[in-house]
């Protein structure tokens, strides 16, 4: 099976030679990381088998968040943490997207625009949730995840939010639940979201660079009831640390063309797309985030700095529904320890060989 790593190993140097003078530095770093991931470039970890004593050398991964080989462990850790923090009651997934006409502008101003998308969308929900006509709570809580890709690797920036169905009121210190099938009006969210994003562009002095017809388009907002917190978190977890495309979708690479499979929205049938290898890498790299940019953000009572504890919020939700119930415990299966390929025995960690030094077991 052809992997993304192999594609970049075979064609990455050519891509750098062709576009190196104009490509962002972050893109060059990602190419280097993918090519050198799990090679001696990043050092190695040494194990010995507890049973047969055979030595094993495992090359270290690059750790880059855009590498297809390096995010599985982080995703599992995140899922475990969120499951432990889950709240009772109903939840929603709310997605904020922008018109196609503005996407190229956003891609050219990623750091400013991505932050503006987070601020505009989160402030929209906060403002409407505080309105007595809707929920009437001034402290909602939710977290959002930025995605920038579509199913065919096209550039499509949008933010998914997981939102508990209600908000806390600091005035009466009660939980104000939303309807089970309705959180906030999407038409109102769309209008406010667009206005707040437009204000952010004016404040950043980028407004004049945006085509005027953009403001005649709708900024789409979708709200979907997803039931329990566990269900919504598990739905989103695979996407939190996911990169634009995974190895299993690569069909083959022939005659400098990459074939990969995808599904259209609301369809379970696999289709195949064919791209020139240079175009495939270009589409992949356009989803590289600015260095240090946080693609997952927590708001309201889900913000770690909130003075109101999650235990308090959970209790208020239960009181609001007039009954006490436990959030179902969900066990995340632990990762299997590494085993010996010769006899199947457990491996014992001995040392890590880094680029410039060796760390023995128990050091550092």
Side by side, the strands of the sheet bearing 141-149 are: 221-227, 91-97, 155-164, 141-149, 296-300
Return the closest-CA partner of residue 90 out of 181, 23, 17, 189: 181
Assigned domain for 101 exists = yes
User: CB neighbours of 108 closer than 8 A, spacing ≥ 6?
Assistant: none
- Does 29 lie in the same domain as 115? no
Residue 73 burial (C-beta neighbours within 10 Å; 0-12, 13-18, 19+): exposed
Using one digit for the tens of pLDDT, what is the confidence trace for 69-106? 887 777 777 877 877 778 888 899 999 999 999 999 99
Query: CB–CB of 202/120 below 8 Å?
Result: no
- Does 96 lie in the same domain as 25? no
- Does 154 lie in the same domain as 295? yes
Assigned domain for 27 exists = yes
Task: Give me the residues paired with residue 299 across strands.
Answer: 142
Q: What are phi and psi of 63, to 5 degrees?
A: 80, 0
pLDDT of residue 75: 75
CA pair distance 213, 190, nearest whole angstrom: 16
CA pair distance 343, 249, nearest whole angstrom: 33
DSSP 242: -
Assigned domain for 208 exists = yes
CA pair distance 210, 226, nearest whole angstrom: 35
| pLDDT under 50: residue ranges of the chain | 327
- By residue range, what is the domain housing residue 25? 4-65+347-360
Return the closest-CA partner of residue 241 out of 362, 94, 106, 70: 70
Assigned domain for 280 exists = no
Cα 59 to chain centroid, rounded: 26
Assigned domain for 266 exists = no
Kindly give the pairing relationship between strand 347-353 and strand 358-360. antiparallel
Token code pair at residue 274: 């064919």
Cα-Cα end-to-end distance for the chain:
38
- Does 110 lie in the same domain as 30? no
CA pair distance 113, 239, nearest whole angstrom: 21
pLDDT of residue 71: 74
pLDDT of residue 135: 96
- Does 220 lie in the same domain as 156? yes
- Does 95 lie in the same domain as 32? no
Assigned domain for 267 exists = no
Cα 22 to chain centroid, rounded: 27
- Does 145 lie in the same domain as 14? no
Q: How many domains does the chain have?
A: 2
pLDDT of residue 332: 52
Count CB atoms within 10 A of the CB of residue 105. Answer: 16
Query: CB–CB of 147/165 below 8 Å?
Result: no
- Does 106 lie in the same domain as 179? yes
Assigned domain for 282 exists = no
pLDDT of residue 79: 78
- Does 304 lie in the same domain as 190? yes
Using one digit for the tens of pLDDT, what is the confidence trace for 217-241? 999 999 999 887 777 677 666 667 7
Side by side, the strands of the sheet bearing 250-254 are: 250-254, 257-263, 270-276
Assigned domain for 28 exists = yes
- Does 305 lie in the same domain as 191? yes
Return the closest-CA partner of residue 79 out of 336, 339, 335: 335
pLDDT of residue 361: 59
- Does 50 lie in the same domain as 105? no
- Does 189 lie in the same domain as 115? yes
């Amino acid at each position: 099976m052809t992997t993304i790593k192999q594609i970049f190993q075979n064609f990455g140097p050519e891509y750098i030679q062709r576009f190196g003078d104009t490509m962002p530095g972050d893109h060059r770093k990602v190419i280097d990381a993918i090519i050198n991931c799990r090679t001696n470039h990043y050092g190695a970890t040494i194990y010995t088998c507890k049973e047969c004593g055979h030595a094993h050398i495992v090359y270290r991964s690059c750790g880059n968040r855009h590498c297809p080989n390096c995010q599985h462990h982080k995703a599992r850790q995140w899922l475990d943490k969120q499951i432990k923090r889950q709240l009772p009651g109903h939840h929603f997934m709310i997605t904020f997207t922008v018109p196609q006409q503005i996407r190229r502008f956003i891609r050219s101003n990623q750091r400013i625009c991505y932050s503006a998308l987070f601020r505009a969308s989160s402030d929209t929900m906060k403002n409407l949730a505080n309105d007595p006509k809707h929920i009437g709570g001034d402290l909602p809580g939710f977290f959002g995840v930025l995605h920038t890709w579509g199913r065919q690797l096209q550039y499509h920036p949008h933010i998914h939010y997981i939102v508990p169905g209600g908000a806390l009121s600091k005035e009466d210190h009660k939980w104000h639940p939303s309807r089970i099938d309705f959180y906030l009006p999407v038409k109102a969210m769309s209008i406010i979201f667009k206005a707040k994003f437009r204000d952010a562009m004016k404040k950043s002095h980028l407004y004049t660079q945006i085509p005027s017809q953009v403001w005649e388009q709708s900024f789409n907002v979708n709200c979907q009831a997803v039931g329990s917190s566990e269900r919504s978190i598990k739905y989103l977890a695979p996407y939190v640390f996911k990169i634009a495309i995974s190895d299993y979708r690569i069909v083959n690479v022939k005659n400098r063309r990459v074939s990969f499979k995808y599904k259209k929205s609301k369809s379970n049938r696999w289709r195949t797309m064919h791209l020139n290898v240079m175009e495939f890498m270009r589409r992949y790299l356009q989803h590289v985030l600015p260095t240090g940019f946080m693609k997952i953000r927590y708001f309201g009572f889900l913000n770690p700095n909130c003075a109101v504890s999650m235990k308090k919020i959970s209790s208020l939700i239960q009181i609001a529904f007039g009954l006490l119930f436990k959030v179902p415990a969900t066990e995340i299966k632990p990762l299997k320890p590494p085993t010996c390929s010769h006899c199947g025995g457990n491996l014992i960690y001995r040392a890590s060989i880094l680029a410039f030094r060796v760390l023995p077991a128990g050091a550092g």
